[in-house]
């Protein structure tokens, strides 16, 4: 196993969430690699620090202050409602005038009486000959089946300003 893969699995291993087979492979690698052992120790200490922070109760006034700042920032970023632009009002007026004109003007013009009947036209019959038939060929093309590749899980490593805090996020699998 290489060090990159072991570092991807380390967060799950530290918390005991890694599958048994992968945990055995990782333990073998840790026995051989001093750099990964040091990484695992740092990961365990950062996990312990995070758990210790979660155990401390938060000050109620600090929570209220953070909440107020977040709500103020959200309110500042809200888009202001825009006024209906003048060109849209003009477009609405044009559409209304066109629809009124299309309804009112035809109803204002008096209808003319139909023209008097004229002489009947003379017609002759010509046989209709159908065009020769062409034979169409149907060719079926089969689409190839898509190839589905199984990919390894994606590991996202987030580093903070504090070198003791590194966050790993495993996506997929």
Query: What is the rounded CA–CA span in Å between residue 153 and residue 169?
Result: 10
pLDDT of residue 109: 67
Q: Is residue 83 part of a domain?
A: no
Query: What is the rounded CA–CA span in Å between residue 26 and residue 11?
Result: 12
Q: Is residue 69 part of a domain?
A: no
Q: Is 16 left (phi over 0), alpha (psi -120 to 50) or beta?
A: left
Q: Which residues touch 170 (CB under 8 Å, ≥6 apart)?
A: 8, 11, 12, 153, 154, 155, 156
Give the chain's domain count.
1
Structural domain of residue 44, as residue ranges?
1-56+154-173
pLDDT of residue 48: 85
- SS3 state of residue 168: strand
Q: Is residue 23 part of a domain?
A: yes
- SS3 state of residue 171: strand
Q: Is residue 131 part of a domain?
A: no
Count Cα neighbours of 33 within 13 Å in the Cβ-side half-sphere. 20
Q: Is residue 113 part of a domain?
A: no
pLDDT of residue 123: 59
> 25: how many CB neighbours lie within 10 A of its CB?
15
- SS3 state of residue 107: helix
Query: What is the rounded CA–CA span in Å between residue 45 and residue 43?
Result: 5
At 53, list the tokens: 């922070």
CA distances to 94, 95, 97 from 89, in Å: 9, 10, 12
Q: Is residue 41 part of a domain?
A: yes
Helical (H) or strand (E) element with 157: strand 154-159
Q: Is residue 118 part of a domain?
A: no
Q: Is residue 19 part of a domain?
A: yes
Query: What is the rounded CA–CA span in Å between residue 47 and residue 12?
Result: 11
pLDDT of residue 148: 66
pLDDT of residue 125: 63
What is the chain's pLDDT, residue by residue, as a tens digit (173 residues)? 788 888 888 888 888 888 899 899 989 999 999 999 999 999 888 888 888 777 777 778 877 888 898 888 888 877 766 666 777 878 888 888 887 777 666 666 666 677 777 776 665 666 677 777 776 677 777 777 776 666 677 777 777 788 788 777 777 65
């Amino acid at each position: 196993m290489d060090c990159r893969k072991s570092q991807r699995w380390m967060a799950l291993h530290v918390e005991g969430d890694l599958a048994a087979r992968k945990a055995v492979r990782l333990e073998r690698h840790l026995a051989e690699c001093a750099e990964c052992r040091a990484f695992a120790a740092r990961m365990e200490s950062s996990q312990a620090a995070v758990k210790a922070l979660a155990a401390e109760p938060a000050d109620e006034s600090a929570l209220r202050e953070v909440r107020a700042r977040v709500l103020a920032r959200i309110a500042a970023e809200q888009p202001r409602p825009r006024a209906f632009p003048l060109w849209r009002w003009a477009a609405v007026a044009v559409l209304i005038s066109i629809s009124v004109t299309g309804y009112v003007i035809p109803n204002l013009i008096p209808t003319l009486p139909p023209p008097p009947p004229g002489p009947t036209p003379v017609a002759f019959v010509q046989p209709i000959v159908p065009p020769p038939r062409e034979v169409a060929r149907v060719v079926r093309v089969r689409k190839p089946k898509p190839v589905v590749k199984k990919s390894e899980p994606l590991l996202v490593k987030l580093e903070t300003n504090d070198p003791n805090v590194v966050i790993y996020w495993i996506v997929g699998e």
